[in-house]
């Protein structure tokens, strides 16, 4: 059955290719987002040493970009060389970036848009939505209404100035400039060159992707939930100025130039599990949810690493060897629940004291 979105696309003369294909560019070439351990979250200080643990397989370099201006058939490291790593941390709805670049002419004296730029676009829920009013599906929708309803609301665009000297670090393309400030973003940069000189530049930052970030501000904003195995839409372009009024290249990760305004043209990135050597061999982990408050029915979810067997002690004299048990408590109380797991790497136990509190 054709979806409502598919019908809309047909009405405006665009092909319907299915939601998954619509929501990503080059769907057969999924890129990776590195998972940092919770005790090794990168410090945002412009020092790239925190990223040394990230394997080369996660690096997106200049060879994977194409110049949409067609001034350059391929990247020349003597002119512009770029390396990007993207990371995440389980439990935080943040995307971490390390941007390292060499440029033979750093252009950043203008207080406006004329600045070497790292333009990042993120679609945290693969909505594939347009994020620029000029690409709205309903051509009859008034410009003002389109700006209020879609300009960066479902996907977000950051023009990050490299370097930002005497100006804010980024411009948000939309009506929500608050997303580039704490507690939704943070940044730090390091460089020693002056305008017009060559040199190497390092930028560390993190941003919060949003399923909804409206013009009314953060009061109704909905952060994109990040979890292991999730695929998000993400893309970037490097806009290279060399002193002239027109840029010397628009180096795009997407095969579509208009990815800056259409989220369906972003690349697919997958949030990866911890790499071998960073994950523990075995670790008991679990969560729970009260399904029925009146009957005191609780569902327990195993989240352990390396487990092959499970033993639950529900704290009321009852036990279970199921991986994801459901238990009904007979009386009110504050319970100490213990999960013990075993596997090839040994055994592990995790108790939570009075987290399961029933009335």
Topology (CATH level 3) of domain 20-271: Immunoglobulin-like (2.60.40)
Residue 23, pLDDT score: 54
pLDDT value at residue 310: 98
What is the C-alpha to C-alpha distance for residues 241 and 250, in angstroms, rounded to an integer? 9
- Written as six digits, the tokens of 284 are 């008991």
Q: Is 74 exposed, middle or buried (0-12, 13-18, 19+ CB in 10 A)?
A: exposed
Report the C-alpha gap between 317 and 201 in whole angstroms: 61
pLDDT digits (tens, 9 = 90+) for 191-234: 999 999 999 999 999 999 999 999 999 999 999 999 999 999 99
| pTM as predicted | 0.87
Lookup result for tokens 């809309």: 8
Residue 151: predicted pLDDT = 87
Using alpha carbons, select from 112, 54, 114 the residue that is nearest to residue 83. Answer: 54
Domain ranges of the chain: 20-271, 286-358
The pLDDT of residue 137: 84
∠ CA(117), CA(122), CA(123), 5° rounding? 160
286-358 has the same fold as 20-271: yes
The two three-digit tokens of residue 297, written as one number? 């029915």
Q: Which residues of the chain have pLDDT under 50?
A: 1-22
pLDDT the model gives residue 138: 85
pLDDT, residue 8, reads 38
CATH superfamily of 286-358: Immunoglobulins (2.60.40.10)
**Residue 300: predicted pLDDT:** 98
Say what the pLDDT of residue 14 is: 37
278-300: per-residue pLDDT in tens?
Answer: 989 999 999 999 999 999 999 99
């Amino acid at each position: 059955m054709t979806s409502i979105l598919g019908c809309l696309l047909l009405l405006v003369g665009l092909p319907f290719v299915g939601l998954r294909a619509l929501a990503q560019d080059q769907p057969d070439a999924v890129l990776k987002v590195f998972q940092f351990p919770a005790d090794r979250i990168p410090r945002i200080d412009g020092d790239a040493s925190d990223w040394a643990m990230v394997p080369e397989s996660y690096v997106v370099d200049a060879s994977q970009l194409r110049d949409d201006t067609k001034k350059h058939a391929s990247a020349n490291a003597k002119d512009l060389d770029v390396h990007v790593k993207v990371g995440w941390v389980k439990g935080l709805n943040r995307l971490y970036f390390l941007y390292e670049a060499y440029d033979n002419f750093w252009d950043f004296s203008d207080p406006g848009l004329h600045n070497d730029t790292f333009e990042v676009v993120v679609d945290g829920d693969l909505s594939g939505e347009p994020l620029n009013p000029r690409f709205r599906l309903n051509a009859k929708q008034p410009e003002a209404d389109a700006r209020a309803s879609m300009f960066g609301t479902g996907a977000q665009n950051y023009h990050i100035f490299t370097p930002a000297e005497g100006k804010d670090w980024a411009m948000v393309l939309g009506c929500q400039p608050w997303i580039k400030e704490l507690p939704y973003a943070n940044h730090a940069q390091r460089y020693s060159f002056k305008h017009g000189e060559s040199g190497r530049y390092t930028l560390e930052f993190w941003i919060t992707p949003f399923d909804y970030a409206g013009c009314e501000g953060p009061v109704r904003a909905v952060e994109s939930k990040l979890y292991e195995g999730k695929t998000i839409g993400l893309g970037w372009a490097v806009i290279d100025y060399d002193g002239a009024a027109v840029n010397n290249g628009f180096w795009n990760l997407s095969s579509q130039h208009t990815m800056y305004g259409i989220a369906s043209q972003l690349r697919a990135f997958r949030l990866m599990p911890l790499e071998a050597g960073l994950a523990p061999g075995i670790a008991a982990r679990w969560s729970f949810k009260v399904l029925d408050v009146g009957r005191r029915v609780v569902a327990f979810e195993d989240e352990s690493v390396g487990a092959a067997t499970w033993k639950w002690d529900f704290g009321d004299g009852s036990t279970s060897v199921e991986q994801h048990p459901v238990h009904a408590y007979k009386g009110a109380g504050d319970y100490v629940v213990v999960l013990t797991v075993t596997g090839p790497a040994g055994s592990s136990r995790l108790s939570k004291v009075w987290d399961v509190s029933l009335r």
